[in-house]
């Protein structure tokens, strides 16, 4: 019988591997590529228009492969479609400037946001969409499957098995989507272990990897989540006290995710002091979806934390993690096993609270980190800062939030259901006295400028449950209508124009009803909010709390 | 310095492995356990109260390990907390009846739902919660981490690397959560490959596996997604025509998930016939998150389908999948690589439409498959049938649904945002003339009986966008208030009491506005809805369409 075969992908894959063998000759042994052959390899296996994932996590970077990609001849390789979670390195944009790539789907571009906006304006890059991480990974299995992935691992063995060490991050999701769809996986590694030597552990099986190249220098990793307690202000201490007493204790939040920044670092550092004094140990903050924040060390040492699953790792925390394997997910080698896909899923479905910060919030509670001239992306916030409507298991925190949300609704919206707590924690003015509360988000103007389908809103107002500023907590769940909601936000917006525009009587009525709660309503005396409450007041305290196991990167050491 | 070490888990793990070595002696070689030593192994490594994941997927079953668990001495091993996605085998409940386990967190219990309800009533089992799959996997990394996992794979090599073959399903999520948290992974395999022989591919690295045992018989797999086209009715053909013309074409749905059943099988079989006649090829249904449904073979052969990522596999589809690697995710060995966690994420974040069926729907659009005396669970429906509020990438279908949803809203709810299409496709009467539309879901009574925190609602009414019956399509997005919504549902509820209770004038007004659309409103003549439209009218046609590659299980063969 004459059978149709639909295996063009498999044949294309074999042809590309054949082309690589031919181009590299003796510089390719099994899967092992000589370092100086990398550009030739990429020329051989890539084709114009390919969808390419260049591993840019928010920490670990496939920096050697990024440089090699930039070095390609745009006459041969052009119009690549880059599908990668983070744009962190200059090379991630150089490929567009050089015409090697022309299309982009991504999640986060913090450090490169301003340059990305310029490239977009000049027409050198077309942006498909800005995603939250898990959404981008999901599309890897549907309509954004990479043809070639360029990834980073710590070490490889002779067969091509990979050891990522603590920064596994995006790697498993990228590799699985590519390797099982007739794509090609190329890994840069810091070291090769000799034949016959076992890797400390296998994070990616050799079957899933096509080529391995040793990078001349170890891959770049950014210590993104380290915050020096010395820089935490007393306003942040006050806000952290309100978060703990007014939200965490109020709802009995056991499972949570903290965003990045000093605001949440302050909360972490108050657990073993202020939290302890309120008798909250064991009653809140037992399970976390979190990178290994050094600021959590004192709480861990005081026995507050039962488990932490991590998106990535954090430089300097290696030995501490190894000695705290009861708390962290670690491998048989003792080092962390992080996994951004699973940790994001955990943040979405298995946490009761997300608390993060933003640059701008409007009167509807919509917030965005996109400001004019910068396309920063979203990272994990949309996934974790959204109500998980597929969730079906109950917890006291989730049920209580759900009851509050339902109280003023009717019809389908009044059917009993829990609700994720989504807290936006912002000082009313951010640096350079820019107000955090605005009538209109810059996101709207950015949408017009960039021709986006929707404004780049990071967290939508109707997913936010609480707004926390130095002036107090606004519980949006208790608002009965849009007008109350607006006054609740104005009521904690301080001396910003939005705050000054409040209807004082309406705000007082909201306060009477507990929709707005000031520090004094919570029994918090702002004079108690001193840096003395912090369980660590500087990096050295964190090191001490860790029993010397935490080794901060040099830039955080001033002793 | 005197360092605190928090490594009780690691020490406990080592002690359990030591106990296994002592108990088994020569019956344990490396990681390889002799078949008849399995009960002794479980006695050695388990402790009362342990959290245990016994791999019960909705297809592949660790059936040998399930039997071994039932054979344990309840005086030694009792009060286990089972955390597994599916209760499919009698043994999954026998462990509770025998007192070996007492607590349960799960997702789906279809075949065992009635017995589970009885065990619950008798107090032999305490249910933590019923989850959707991805939610349960998420909790494996937060507060339901398994201490011991009992999994199933096709083959193992001498080192303990595992090959799952096409039914990878839950395995990677279970193993990762267990192996990296100081837990123990025990795998049953159908075969061992001799030392020095490579597995067809590695699905789980040996590092992540502690013990391997060869089962006396291959693990049980259920062909859950096979539907014989011969059993598709003409009413189902009519409904499928409405789905294609009134929803898929209307929104331009490119990426989707189909639930299980004859209703959606009819849609799959109409694509290359009716869909083709409407000129829809390439305009709808290109990317799928779907098990390898045999009913999709004709559409694949006609070139409709670009990609399918699968939760699990389907018996008999192995050779067909192998020859269609352009469409299916396959490994270097040619067989499917399924992965329930990633496919559920894809269904949530990268699909524009979910269409499924239900047993009961109320006037608010809430639906449930829980009926009195049966606790069936949810499976993947809550995750895929919920609006993905973390999603940020646009598609025409998502934007259009979002615009419709927003038209009658104000405040935060009116901020531009897309919307997932969630379609409930039900005949107004199901078997035994039970009405699908009811005033009150049985779920409410079930909640009272079982003392649940919330009624077991599978898909919430405010996540449903369309209700499709033989009478027409109700677009709930276009309803301006609760009253309209109720009449829209009554308006397609046919001769059920709910349907007969409609306000005829209100329903006609909804029809004038296009909220309700009858077949004739869609230009569909019900007389055209014959079985002749089906691209395959029986199993034999499917086999023929596959070029003989599809080999249905015996029970589906009648020739």
Quote the DSSP letter at residue A424: E
Strands B255-258, B287-289: pairing kind? parallel
Q: Is the ipTM of this complex over 0.90?
A: yes
Mind listing the pLDDT tens digit for each residue in B110-120?
889 999 999 99
Q: What is the DSSP string of B373-424?
A: T---B-BTHHHHTS--TT-----HHHHHHHHHHHTT--GGGGS-----EEEE
Q: Are strands A429-430 and A434-435 parallel, antiparallel or unpaired?
A: antiparallel
Confidence of residue B6 (pLDDT cuts 50, 70, 90): confident
Q: Which residues of A touch B391 (CB under 8 A)?
A: 132, 135, 382
Using CB atoms and an 8 Å cut-off, which of residues 58-97 of chain A contact chain B?
none
pLDDT at residue A1 greater than cutoff 60: no
Query: CA-CA distance, B503 to A460, in Å (whole number)?
Result: 37
Place of tokens 């951004």: A340
Which of B3, B332, B341 is opposite residue A207, by nearest beta carbon? B332
Q: What is the pLDDT of residue A3?
A: 44
Tell me the pLDDT band of A4, cut-offs 50, 70 and 90. Answer: low
Partners of B324 on chain A (C-beta within 8 Å) are: 6-7
Report CA B492 to chain centroid distance, whole Å. 27
Are A460 and B412 in contact (CB < 8 Å)?
Answer: yes
Cα–Cα distances (Å) from B482 to A412, A413, B366, B394, B462, in that order, read 7, 9, 13, 28, 10
Mutate to test the interface with B, among A320, A349, A444 (most CBs of B within 10 A): A349
Residues of B in contact with A202 (CB under 8 A): 205-208
Q: Residue B343 CA to chain centroid, in angstroms? A: 10
Chain B residues closer than 8 Å to A343 by CB: 141
For the stretch B136-161, pLDDT in tens is 999 999 999 999 999 999 999 999 99
Query: Residue B214 above 60 pLDDT?
Result: yes
* Domains in chain A: ranges and CATH: 8-214 (3.40.1080.10), 229-540 (3.40.1080.10)
Q: Comparing C-alpha atoms, which of B83, B223, B227, B109 is closest to residue B166?
A: B223
Inter-chain contacts counted by CB atoms under 8 A, chains A and B: 324
User: Mapping DSSP to helix (H, G, I), strand (E, B) and coil, where does residue B242 land?
Assistant: helix
pLDDT band at B4 (very low <50, low <70, confident <90, very high): low
Q: Find all residues with CB under 8 Å of A303, minimum gap 6, and list them.
A: A281
Q: Identify the closest residue of chain B to A14 by CA–CA distance.
A: B332
- The yes-or-no verdict on residue B331 having pLDDT over 50 is yes
Q: How far apart are CA A178 and CA A170, in angstroms?
A: 13
Residues of A with Cβ-Cβ distance to B137 under 8 angstroms:
342, 345
The 10s digit of each residue's pLDDT in B450-478 is: 889 999 999 999 999 999 999 999 999 99
| pLDDT value of residue B276 | 98
Residues of B in contact with A324 (CB under 8 A): 6-7
Using 50, 70 and 90 to split pLDDT, how confident is the model at A5? Answer: low
Is the CB of residue A405 less than 8 Å away from at least one CB of chain B?
no
- One-letter-per-residue 3-state SS of B428-488: CEEHHHEECECCCCHHHHHHHHHCCCCCCCCECHHHCCEEEECCEEEEHHHCCCHHHHHHH
Res A2 pLDDT > 80: no
Distance from CA of A233 to the nearest CA of B (A): 31
With contact defined as beta carbons under 8 Å apart, do B273 and B535 qualify?
yes
* Average pLDDT value for residue range B502-510: 98
Please name which of A218, A77, A110, A221 lies closest in space to residue A93, comparing C-alpha atoms.
A110
Which whole number is the average pLDDT over B423-446? 94
Tens-digit pLDDT profile for residues A104-132: 999 999 889 999 999 999 999 999 999 99
Cβ contact, residue pair B301, A329, below 8 Å:
no
**Whole-angstrom Cα Rg for chain B:** 25
**CB contact, 8 Å: B217 with chain A?**
no
Q: Does A398 touch chain B (CB under 8 A)?
A: no
What 3-state class would DSSP assign to B29? strand
Helix (H) or strand (E) holding B103: strand B101-108
> Is B264 in CB contact (< 8 Å) with chain A?
no
Q: With bands split at pLDDT 50, 70 and 90, how would you rate the model's confidence at B344?
A: very high
Closest Cβ–Cβ partner in A131, A143, A411 for B482: A411
Considering Cα of A405, then A407, then A408, then A413, what sign does the dihedral take? Answer: positive
Q: Which of A361, A366, A359 is nearest to A382 (CA)?
A: A366
Whether residue B141 lies within 8 A of chain A, CB to CB, comes out as yes
Cβ–Cβ under 8 Å, residues A80 and A104:
no
The predicted pLDDT at position B376 comes to 86
């Amino acid at each position: 019988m004459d059978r149709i075969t639909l295996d063009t992908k498999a044949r294309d894959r074999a042809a590309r591997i054949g082309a690589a063998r031919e181009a590299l000759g003796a510089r390719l042994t099994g899967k092992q590529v000589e370092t100086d052959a990398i550009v030739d390899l990429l020329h051989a296996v890539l084709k114009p228009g390919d969808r390419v994932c260049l591993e840019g996590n928010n920490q670990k970077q496939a920096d050697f492969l990024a440089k090699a990609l930039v070095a390609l001849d745009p006459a041969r390789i052009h119009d690549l479609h880059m599908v990668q979670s983070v744009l962190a390195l200059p090379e991630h944009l150089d490929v567009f400037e050089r015409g090697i790539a022309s299309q982009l789907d991504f999640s986060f571009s913090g450090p490169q946001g301003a340059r990305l906006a310029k490239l977009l304006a000049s027409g050198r890059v077309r942006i498909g969409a800005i995603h939250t991480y898990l959404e981008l990974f999901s599309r890897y299995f549907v309509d954004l499957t990479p043809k070639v992935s360029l990834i980073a691992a710590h070490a490889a063995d002779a067969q091509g098995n990979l050891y990522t060490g603590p920064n596994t991050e995006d790697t498993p999701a990228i590799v699985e989507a590519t390797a099982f769809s007739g794509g090609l996986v190329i890994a840069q590694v810091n070291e090769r272990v000799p034949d016959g030597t076992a890797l400390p552990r296998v994070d990616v099986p050799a079957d899933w990897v096509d080529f391995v190249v040793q990078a001349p220098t170890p891959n770049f990793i950014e210590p993104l989540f380290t915050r020096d307690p010395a820089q935490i202000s007393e306003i942040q201490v006050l806000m952290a006290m309100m978060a703990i007493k007014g939200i965490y204790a109020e709802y009995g939040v056991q499972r949570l995710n903290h965003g990045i920044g000093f605001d949440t670092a302050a909360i972490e550092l108050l657990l073993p002091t202020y939290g302890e004094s309120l008798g909250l140990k064991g009653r809140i903050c037992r399970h976390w979806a979190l990178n290994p924040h050094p600021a959590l060390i004192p709480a861990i040492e005081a026995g507050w934390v039962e488990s932490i699953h991590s998106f990535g790792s954090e430089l300097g925390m290696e030995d501490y993690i190894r000695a705290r394997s009861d708390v962290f997910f670690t491998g048989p080698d003792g080092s962390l096993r992080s996994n951004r896909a699973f940790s994001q899923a955990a943040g979405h479905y298995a946490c009761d609270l997300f608390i993060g910060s933003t640059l701008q919030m409007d009167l509807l509670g919509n917030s965005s980190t996109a400001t004019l001239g910068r396309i920063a992306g979203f990272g994990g916030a949309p996934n974790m800062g959204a109500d998980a409507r597929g969730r079906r298991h109950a917890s006291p925190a989730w049920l209580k939030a759900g009851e509050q949300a339902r109280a003023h609704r009717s019809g389908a919206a009044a059917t009993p259901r829990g609700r994720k707590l989504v807290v936006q924690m912002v000082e009313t003015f951010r640096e350079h006295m820019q107000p955090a509360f605005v009538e209109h988000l810059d996101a709207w103007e950015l949408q017009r400028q960039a021709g986006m389908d929707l404004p780049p809103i990071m967290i939508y107002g109707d997913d936010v449950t609480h707004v926390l500023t130095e002036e107090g907590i606004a519980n949006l769940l208790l608002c009965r209508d849009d007008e109350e909601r607006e006054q609740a936000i104005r009521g904690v917006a301080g001396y910003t124009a939005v705050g000054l525009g409040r209807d004082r009587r309406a705000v007082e009525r909201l306060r009477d009803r507990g929709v707005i709660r000031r520090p004094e309503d919570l029994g918090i005396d702002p004079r108690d909010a001193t840096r003395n409450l912090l369980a660590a007041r500087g990096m050295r305290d964190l090191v001490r709390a860790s029993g010397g196991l935490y080794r901060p990167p040099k830039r955080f050491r001033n002793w």
